[in-house]
Chain A
Amino acid sequence: MSHGRPERSTLGMSPERQFSAFGPTRRQRPCHDDGIMNENRDFTPAPASTCASAAGLLRHPSRPPMLSARNLTKTYGATTALAGLSLDIRAGESVAIMGASGSGKTTLLHVLAGIIRPDSGQVHLNLPGQSVQVEALAESARSRLRREAFGFVFQQGLLIPELNALENVAVALMLNGAPRPASEQAAAGWLQALGLGGMEQRRIGELSGGQAQRVAIARAQVTGAGVIFADEPTGALDSATSADVMQVLLESTIGAGKTLILVTHDDGVAASCGRVLTMRDGRLTGDSAGGVIVAGLAQGGNR
């Protein structure tokens, strides 16, 4: 256990200081790797933005929202998971999504990330230099968008059990075409920074739930993705471990100026995010950041 948490002391540092430790990691990001950028593609993810977001430049209010959803609907048979939801998220924002079970949080996350297509409505992703109509992309293009521009943390780590911790993280970079040695080096940097130094060679079965979840957090960010989606990332952990892991997640994302979109049931965790959205029956019923709520509420009220 003592071995497992060498980072406890560093977590007390200011996020900026602590996560400047990722400097070398950033330099190895695939966004600087010409090899993959030169490929023929139907969209260009925004390495520049993801790299620059750390500096907070993109939070400037005059910029268009980074992620902009309009009138999203999604139904499963008789169930309405999304009922005409609209939402704007700016680069560098940290957004907590709350709501009762079945209110459509996961569905919203999946639509925003291009995992599923809405029945109607649009999701617009604005990255410097280009903008992408996410829901209009073909599956392969959305898949590419997900692995290059987004990072994901699921409720259960869902790591690959045959691979060790290091390889699980490195694979995310290798999928983007980065060579293995550089990928493993970057992965090692992330594991170290998240308090898993010395556990690189452990298989996933040899890690605790909390450690596995940190590996998942490292995997989500090793590509330099500027937007991290997390769906109840500590839902399967006990409360003490949960607090630790959540702190690691928040500091490595919000602390580094990344955009975090997080589904949580925990008010305390939500309070650490810059903005809190509440959902009910596939609609937004609350938004701590003025402006957009009105639209969301108005829409809800009209029905």
Chain B
Amino acid sequence: MSAPAASPASPAVPDVPRGGSTAVVPWKLAWLLSRPGKSGGTTALLPMVAFGLVTTLLLTVLAGALSFLRWRDELAFLYQLLAVLALILLVFPLLTLGGSAARLSARRRDDRLATLRLLGATPATVAGVTIIESTALAAAGAVAGVAGYLVLAPAVQLIPFRGEPIGGAYWLHPLAVLAVVAGVVLLAAISAAVGLRKVVISPLGVRTRQAPATMHWLRALIAAAVVLAGFIAMNAGYASTAVAVACVLGAFAAGLAVLNLVGPWAVAVMGRQQLRKAATAEKLLAARSILESPKAAWRQVSGLAMTSFVAVFGGTGVAMTDGAPGPVSGPEQFLSGDIRTGILITIVVSFVMVACSAGVNQAAAVLDRTDLYTSLDHLGMPRKTMDAARTRAVMLPLLLVSLGSAAVSFVLIFPLAGMALVLAPLSILTIAGCLGAGILVVWAGLRTTRPVLGKVLAAGR
């Protein structure tokens, strides 16, 4: 819709005061263009919010993980290992969120491209301006993100590990904070520079010209084989502890691989099934927008697949140790409780990350399609229908992915999980409750984008 008709390849810039304009230094031009325009306010705010969320979440998670470094005893290594595991799990949703932020900057850049070229700017100037602008937005967002990290401090400092709250160990070294901010800003600059060429080559409209990618059923076959192998391995009976640990780790890796392989395919299958049975306009719209790119729909929520998978896996382990009589004193007494705390935090944080990126992406999607939404409003499509379709398009893959991977995990360790359910139901219920709460958080994140659509429609009336 809003695909820039102008392509930079066309030499259509007439004899505007060319020499003069190209002489303008990029940052002056960037400053000129940064003045509030018709929709300038929102388009600048969204990427800033997104970069801010990335920074806050990154700093907070990092602070929590690094606080484990304060221990030096022999158990410390296990804690640090688990913290690294949690960080790895959180990298995926964080990357998704970072990607959303970069995409928002890109959209703003598209808006400005035409203006810049009308001003007679050379491609080099355009590139300079866009990189400066993206970087400035990221910097502003990252600084706000640091404030978010400070605001969260009192709450996070209360979380207990090894019997004591994190407290002062929460504070990162100022240099570490600076490094994170610099990293976020640098990544924004790089993604702006790299994305520039891509956007120039393929404006928005081109994407919809292609038929949506189809997902091959072979993925499912391979996945099923892996799950079966894992199941057999898990139940083969263990000769020694070492073999058992190897089996568990192998099953864990295999499970993650399976999820990534089967995820997009499963989302596509669900989309097709939804499309077939869609009886209302919003269901039809939601199914079609999932099918538009099952990969993108999967990517949006894939972080949750890992988390749910690990939640069931680790939760079962914790529940089992809970059921067995453990050490009542010494450093080991907190271990299983701490692992559970860690799992719960990882679940909550990854859902919050997905909620942020889903909300930010949805806001961007609405702003990307202002013309379309306005026209649908003119035709008399109720706003409720538009909102319902947008929500479904995110929530359906989300439910499929989080519940589906929890189920895969459950199957893989079925004997253990089944036992845990009987022996320590409360443990398992806590994890299930957390998953449920996470799903609600994402829904709430989507809910916050309704005023964006409301504003867009109001502007067209």
Contact of B291 with A140 in the complex, beta carbons under 8 Å: no
A90 adjacent to chain B (CB < 8 Å): no
Q: Which residues of B contact A175 (CB under 8 A)?
A: 281, 379-382, 385
Interfacial chain A residues near B376, Cβ < 8 Å: 158, 160
Q: Tell me the bound Cα distance from A145 to B380 in angstroms.
A: 7
Q: Tell whether B329 is near chain A: CB-to-CB under 8 Å.
A: no
A160 to chain B, nearest CB (A): 7
Contact A147 B380 (CB under 8 A): yes
Q: How many angstroms from the CA of A199 to the CA of B380 in the assembled complex?
A: 26
A266 interface residue, CB < 8 Å from B? Answer: no
When C-beta atoms are compared, the residue in chain A nearest to B380 turns out to be: A147
Per-residue contact bits, chain B 194-232, to A (CB 8 Å; 1 contact, 0 not)? 000000000001001111000000000000000000000
CB-based nearest B residue for A148: B380
List B contacts of A162 (CB < 8 A).
208, 285, 288-289, 291-292
Nearest-neighbour CB distance to chain B for A158, whole angstroms, equals 4
Q: Give a binary string over B276-297; 1 marks a CB under 8 Å from any A CB, 0 the rest.
A: 0011110011001101100000
Q: Which of chain A's residues have a CB closer than 8 A to the CB of B35? A: none
Q: Are B285 and A205 in contact (CB under 8 A)?
A: no
User: B173 interface residue, CB < 8 Å from A?
Assistant: no
Min CB distance, A262 to chain B, in Å?
16
Of the candidates A144, A180, A205, which one forms a contact with B205 in the assembled complex, judged by CB atoms under 8 Å apart?
Answer: A205
A203 pairs with B379, CB closer than 8 A = no
Quick one: given A143-B377, A144-B380, A205-B205, are A163 and B279 in contact (CB under 8 Å)? Answer: no
Most buried by B among A160, A179, A219: A160
Q: Is A42 in the interface zone, CB < 8 Å from B? A: no
* A160 CB contact (under 8 Å) in B205, B372, B378, B382: B372
Contact between chains at A146 and B209 (CB < 8 Å): no
Report B354-402 residues with CB < 8 Å from chain A CB: 371-372, 375-382, 385
Expressed in whole angstroms, the Cα–Cα distance for A161 and B278 within the complex equals 18
Min CB distance B65 to A, Å, is 40
Q: Decide if A174 touches B281 in the complex (CB within 8 Å).
A: yes
Quick check: B385 and A179 within 8 Å, CB to CB? Answer: no
B379 touching A172, Cβ below 8 Å: yes
Task: Say yes or no for A204: interface residue by CB 8 A criterion.
Answer: yes
Check B378 against A161 for contact (C-beta < 8 Å): no
Contact of B278 among A110, A146, A180, A203 (CB under 8 A): A180
| Alpha-carbon gap, A154 to B379, bound state (A) | 10
Tell me, rounded to whole Å, the shortest Cβ–Cβ distance linking A106 to chain B: 11
- Which residues of chain B are near A171, meaning CB under 8 Å? 281, 284-285, 381
Q: Most chain-B CB neighbours within 10 Å: which of A116, A139, A167, A175?
A: A175
Q: How many A-B residue pairs have CB under 8 A?
A: 84
Q: For the complex, is B69 an interface residue (Cβ under 8 Å from A)?
A: no
Q: Contact check, A204 vs B208: say whether CB atoms are below 8 A apart.
A: yes
User: For residue A145, which residues in chain B have a CB less than 8 angstroms away from its CB?
Assistant: 380
Cα distance A172–B382 when bound, in Å?
11
A190 within 8 A of B: no
Give every chain A residue within 8 A of B288 (Cβ-Cβ): 160, 162-163, 167
Are A163 and B285 within 8 A (Cβ)? yes
Note all chain A residues with C-beta closer than 8 A to B208: 161-162, 203-205
- A116 in contact with B381 (CB, 8 Å): no
Q: Would A152 and B379 be within 8 Å (CB), given that A174-B284, A179-B279 are in contact?
A: yes
Question: Residues of B contacting A158 with CB < 8 Å?
Answer: 1, 371-372, 375-376
The complex places the Cα of A204 from the Cα of B206 at a distance, in Å, of 11
The CA-CA distance from A152 to B376 in the complex, in Å, is: 10
The answer to the question of A273 belonging to the interface, with a C-beta cut-off of 8 Å to chain B, is: no
Mask of A125-142 contacts with B, CB within 8 angstroms, 1/0: 000000000000001100
In the bound complex, residues from chain A placing their C-beta under 8 Å from that of B292 are 162
Taken together as a complex, chains A and B put the C-alpha atoms of A148 and B380 apart, in Å, by: 8
B38 interface residue per 8 A CB criterion: no
Contacts of B28 in A (CB 8 A): none
- Across the two chains, which residue of chain A brings its CB closest to B385? A175
Cross-chain contact A147 with B381 (CB below 8 angstroms): yes
Min CB distance B162 to A, Å, is 51
B70 on the interface (CB 8 Å rule)? no
Q: Is B72 an interface position by the 8 A CB rule?
A: no
A172 to B284, CA, bound (A): 12
A140 touches B382 (CB 8 A): yes
Contact A205 B209 (CB under 8 A): yes
* Closest A residue to B281 using CB positions: A174
Identify the 10 closest CB pairs spanning chains A and B, nearest first.
A147-B380, A146-B380, A205-B209, A158-B375, A161-B208, A162-B288, A205-B208, A174-B281, A162-B292, A143-B380
User: A residues near B, CB below 8 A?
Assistant: 110, 113, 115-117, 139-140, 143-148, 150, 152, 154, 156, 158, 160-163, 167, 171-172, 174-175, 179-180, 203-206, 219
16 contacts between A and B (CB under 8 A): A117-B461, A143-B380, A144-B380, A147-B381, A152-B375, A152-B378, A160-B285, A160-B372, A161-B208, A162-B289, A163-B285, A171-B281, A175-B380, A180-B284, A205-B205, A205-B208
- Having A144-B382, A171-B285, one finds 12 other A-B pairs with CB under 8 Å, namely A143-B377, A143-B381, A161-B372, A162-B288, A167-B284, A171-B284, A175-B380, A175-B381, A179-B279, A180-B279, A180-B284, A206-B209
